[in-house]
């Protein structure tokens, strides 16, 4: 009996012995899809260093090894690819620039779907798309594109200027609309019943809607139709939540008399500006729909979620830019200088409780995310890529 129980114990011990052969976790980082090149088009959020730096807190180097990994670089890394800026320029208006054929990140800081001041320069995301298309797409490419945020910011700026009596920026947009579809402004004015402020709102919406259509059309024509099979497009984030627009809204509140009355006026404006962003996003979604090669990443919703529920994302500050203010722009808003806003300089800021004080802020300056914000963006894009079976 005793010997038999020993056998039973031995059987259990056998299980135990096998159990002991465990170990720590490992990782197989081979993505689901074979991606041999990552191609990027977009604005400052995606710029790997057109102007020699990135639009966030700088790492130990401004570009290349040791530099901060921005979101498309984190995505490229998952596929064992690295990125570098295709366009190189000394000045932000790109009056002159070089192209580096081996670099596949075409994104440029200040990039717009429709840069009215420089429509044929690489500041135009459409021009970037055409340049990438000219170089050619293959079935093994992953193409990631963002755009429209600066256009939406331009429109909001134009509306604010128009309300203050300067209609020039809005008129330029209306003129562009008329050049695309003659008679648009007359029709909109009729729709507005001659009310100038109503007309401004309608024109702003029509402008962004047309841009979204143009943007999506270019992606279909120059990317998907040219052989790309994996295209991720980010929509425009809720830019009204950025410090830049929160400052603008604060001044609107102040101008409206402050207090509850001012807050109500600012909230109303914020809602109407946000609605314009949604006009662009809804049109973009509608125009991109039905293409199995394209996944639309809902950056708008996720960004709002991050701002309203920061702890869930381990953000500890959703308001204050970490980079120091270095100047003031024409509209009285603070400006920042990314090349000198380095991780080392921020960590050395006197009077902070920890050198890591800035790490989990959302904003680097008043409009761009911190490196951690970029990580969150890459995680969001990763989710969409994985859901498509690409990562």
Partner 1 sequence: MKISVRIIAAAAALAACSLASAQSAGSWMARVGVTHLSPDVSSGNLSAPSFPNTKVDAGSNTQLGGGITYMVTDNLALDVPLATPFKHDLSGAGSIAGVGKLGSTKAIPATLMLQYRFNEAKAAFRPYLGVGVTYAHFYGEKTTATLNGLSGGTLANPTTAELDDKFGALAQLGFVYNFNERWFVDASYSKSFLKTKIHLSSGQSVSVRLNPDVFAMAIGYRF
Query: Of these, 2, 7, 65, 101, which contacts partner 1 (CB under 8 A)?
Result: 7
Site map 282..311 versus partner 1, x via CB under 8 A: --------------------x--x---x-x
CA neighbor of 39 nearest in space, from 176, 113, 146: 146
| Sign of the torsion angle spanned by Cα atoms 41, 43, 47, 52 | positive
How near is the Cβ of 136 to partner 1 at its closest, in Å?
26
Task: Estimate the crossing angle of helix 168-180 against helix 184-191, to 10 degrees.
Answer: 120
Q: DSSP letters along 255-294, please? A: HTTSHHHHHHHHHHHHHHHHHHHHHHHHHHHHHHTT-TTE
Q: Which is nearer to partner 1, 25 or 193 (CB)?
A: 25
How near is the Cβ of 14 to partner 1 at its closest, in Å?
5
How near is the Cβ of 293 to partner 1 at its closest, in Å?
18
Q: Which is nearer to partner 1, 120 or 292 (CB)?
A: 292
- Give how far Cα 82 sits from Cα of 73, 342, 374, 380, Å: 6, 22, 16, 19
The Cα 51–Cα 265 span in angstroms is 39
Q: Which is nearer to partner 1, 214 or 305 (CB)?
A: 305
How near is the Cβ of 17 to partner 1 at its closest, in Å?
9
Q: Which is nearer to partner 1, 167 or 301 (CB)?
A: 301
How near is the Cβ of 20 to partner 1 at its closest, in Å?
8
CA atoms within 13 Å, Cβ hemisphere of 44: 19
How near is the Cβ of 229 to partner 1 at its closest, in Å?
18
Q: Does 387 bind partner 1 (CB under 8 A)?
A: yes
Query: Of these, 28, 91, 260, 329, which contacts partner 1 (CB under 8 A)?
Result: 28
Q: Which stretch binds partner 1 (CB under 8 A): 72-80, 114-122, 158-166, 186-194?
A: 72-80
Q: Does 330 bind partner 1 (CB under 8 A)?
A: no
Structure tokens that stand for 194 in this block: 């001659």
Q: Which is nearer to partner 1, 233 or 380 (CB)?
A: 380
Q: Does 2 bind partner 1 (CB under 8 A)?
A: no
- CB atoms < 10 A from the CB of 203, how many? 24
Q: DSSP letters along 159-200, please? A: HHHHHTT--HHHHHHHHHHHHHSTTHHHHHHHHTTT-HHHHH
Q: Does 15 bind partner 1 (CB under 8 A)?
A: yes
How near is the Cβ of 10 to partner 1 at its closest, in Å?
7
How near is the Cβ of 311 to partner 1 at its closest, in Å?
6
Structure tokens that stand for 23 in this block: 């170990």
Q: Does 34 bind partner 1 (CB under 8 A)?
A: no
- Site size toward partner 1 (CB under 8 A) is 52
Q: Does 361 bind partner 1 (CB under 8 A)?
A: no
Q: Does 251 bind partner 1 (CB under 8 A)?
A: no
Identify the three-state secondary structure at position 224.
helix
Q: Which is nearer to partner 1, 113 or 380 (CB)?
A: 380
Q: Which is nearer to partner 1, 33 or 345 (CB)?
A: 33
CA neighbor of 384 nearest in space, from 178, 234, 196: 234
| Sign of the torsion angle spanned by Cα atoms 190, 192, 194, 197 | negative
CA neighbor of 235 nearest in space, from 146, 112, 124, 155: 146
Q: Which residues does 292 contact at the CB level (< 8 Å), separation at least 6?
A: none
Is residue 124 within 8 Å of residue 107, measured between CB atoms?
no
The Cα 104–Cα 48 span in angstroms is 10
User: Where along the sequence are the contacts to partner 1 (CB under 8 A)?
Assistant: 1, 3-5, 7-8, 10-12, 14-16, 18-19, 21-32, 69, 74-75, 77-78, 80, 302, 305, 309, 311-314, 375-376, 378-383, 385-387, 389, 391
């Amino acid at each position: 009996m005793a010997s038999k129980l020993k056998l039973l114990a031995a059987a259990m011990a056998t299980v135990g012995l096998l159990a002991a052969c465990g170990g720590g976790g490992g990782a197989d980082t081979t993505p689901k899809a074979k991606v041999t090149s990552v191609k990027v088009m977009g604005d400052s959020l995606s710029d790997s260093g057109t102007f020699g730096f990135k639009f966030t807190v700088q790492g130990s180097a401004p570009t290349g090894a040791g530099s901060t990994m921005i979101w498309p670089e984190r995505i490229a890394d998952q596929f064992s690819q690295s990125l570098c800026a295709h366009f190189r320029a000394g000045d932000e208006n790109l009056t002159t620039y070089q192209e580096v054929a081996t670099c596949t990140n075409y994104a440029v800081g200040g990039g717009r779907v429709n840069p009215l001041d420089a429509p044929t320069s690489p500041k135009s995301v459409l021009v970037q798309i055409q340049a990438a298309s000219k170089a050619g797409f293959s079935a093994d490419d992953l193409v990631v594109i963002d755009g429209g945020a600066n256009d939406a910011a331009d429109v909001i700026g134009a509306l604010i200027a128009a309300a203050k009596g300067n209609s020039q920026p809005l008129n330029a947009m209306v003129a562009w609309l008329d050049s695309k579809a003659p008679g648009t402004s007359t029709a909109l004015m009729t729709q507005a019943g001659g009310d100038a402020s109503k007309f401004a709102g309608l024109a702003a919406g029509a402008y962004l809607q047309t841009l979204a259509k143009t943007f999506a059309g270019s992606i279909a024509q120059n990317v998907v139709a040219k052989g790309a099979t994996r295209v991720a497009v980010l929509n425009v984030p809720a830019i009204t939540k950025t410090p830049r627009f929160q400052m603008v809204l604060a001044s609107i509140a102040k101008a409206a008399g402050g207090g509850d009355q001012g807050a109500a006026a600012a909230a109303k404006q914020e809602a109407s500006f946000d609605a314009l962003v949604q006009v662009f996003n809804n049109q973009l979604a509608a125009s991109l729909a039905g293409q199995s090669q394209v996944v639309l990443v809902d950056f708008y919703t996720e960004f709002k979620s991050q701002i309203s529920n920061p702890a869930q994302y381990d953000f500890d500050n959703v308001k204050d830019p970490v980079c120091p203010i270095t100047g003031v722009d024409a509209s009285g808003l603070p400006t920042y200088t990314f090349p000198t806003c380095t991780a080392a300089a921020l960590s050395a800021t006197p009077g902070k409780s920890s050198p890591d004080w800035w790490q989990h802020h959302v904003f680097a300056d008043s409009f761009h995310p911190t490196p951690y914000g970029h990580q969150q963006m890459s995680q969001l894009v990763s989710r969409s890529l994985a859901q498509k079976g690409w990562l």
